[in-house]
Amino acid sequence: MKKLLMILMMIPTFLILISCGQKEKGTLTVYVGLYEDHAIRAIEAFEKETGIKVSHVRMSNGEILAKIRAEKDAPKASVWFGGPSDTFVQAKMEGLLQPYFSANEHFIPEIYKDEEGYWTGIYVGSIALVSNRAWLQEVGLHAPNSWQDLLKPQYKGMVSMADPRSSGTAYTVLATLVQLMGEEEAFRYLEQLDQNVRTYTTSGSVPGRSVGMGESGVAIMFAHDALKFFKEGFRDLIITFPKEGTGYEIGAVGMVNGAPNEEEAKIFIDWSLTKQAQELGKQMGNYQLLTNETAISPEEAFYLTEINTIVYDQQWAGESRSRLIERWYELVN
């Protein structure tokens, strides 16, 4: 009887010891370059599948880079999720990212990932010219299908694009023009274009809403963002591509150097490369091409093989980012 009593008294302590011996799942902070609706849906799915709690902050790509740079000595976030890879290239050069080769990276073609493991592509999207049908009819223009169209006098004060210092979209535009035209010609073009620009926004998607509401005539932005706005009710939007050629982004995911929750960060990156994770975006009305070879891209997605794209050099764009942005800022000011 005494032995039985002793055993019963020991059970709670034994259970507590077992409980303490189990590794608790940590939390994760993620800086997000995706649309807020896409980010929320993805994080909800990840939390449900893994039990890892995630907090996130949504910012434009240049803002994420600046944030990670400011927190370099004491990182708060572990993962950078979404946004053009050329900004990841710059972050890699500055020692702000750390490499991780995911077990799922074999699903991603080589052209969509960093060979040293610092970032991996999760989607692809192309730059387009997005115009307002009603405005075009009012001024007697056809939808622009050339970069040169945007220099016409009718476009004065009616072109909207983002600021490449904060926007990954706008930097993709800048790097596209330089790769397409050569640097000197591209900056001569940008100087002329500046005379027609209504405003430079912080976010790359805002110009699309401006055009959709008739505040601007045309926006330079990602085609998939414009398609999202069209589906949401901005039916006057027309999406065209410049005949000279256009560039594209590889939206990426990567781990912050010194990630405070490294194991959880690895699990998140593994998950983000899966077919199931990548297909969540189209459920929320996001229409990028997907990089996982087994994932099914949205039917509405703009395939690079169907438009005239340049051979966009992500590595060069990332290495040249600071210099080109500084030159652009001097030009427009």
**CATH 3.40.190.10 in the chain, residue ranges:** 28-124+249-305, 126-247+322-332
Strands 218-222 and 159-162: parallel
What pLDDT score does 148 carry?
98
Phi, psi (degrees; rounded to nearest 5) at 10: -85, -20
Look up tokens 């500084």; give the residue.
Answer: 326
Contacts 24+ apart (CB under 8 A), 291-294: 291/108, 291/109, 291/112, 291/120, 291/121, 291/122, 291/123, 291/124, 291/250, 292/104, 292/107, 292/108, 292/122, 293/107, 293/108, 293/109, 294/107
- Give domain 126-247+322-332's CATH number out of 3.40.50.10210, 3.40.50.720, 3.40.50.620, 3.40.190.10: 3.40.190.10
| pTM of the predicted structure, to 2 decimals | 0.91
Q: What one-letter code names the amino acid at 77?
A: A
Rounded to whole angstroms, the Cα distance separating 146 from 186 reads: 14
Query: Which pLDDT belongs to residue 301?
Result: 96
> What does CATH list as the number for 28-124+249-305?
3.40.190.10
Residue 24 confidence (pLDDT): 53
51: region left, alpha or beta (phi > 0 left; psi from -120 to 50 alpha)? left
Chunked in runs of 10, what are the mean pLDDT values of the chain (333 residues)?
Answer: 40 32 70 96 98 97 97 98 98 98 98 98 98 97 98 97 97 98 98 97 95 97 97 97 98 98 98 98 96 98 96 97 98 92
Alpha-carbon distance of 203 to 210, in angstroms, equals 12
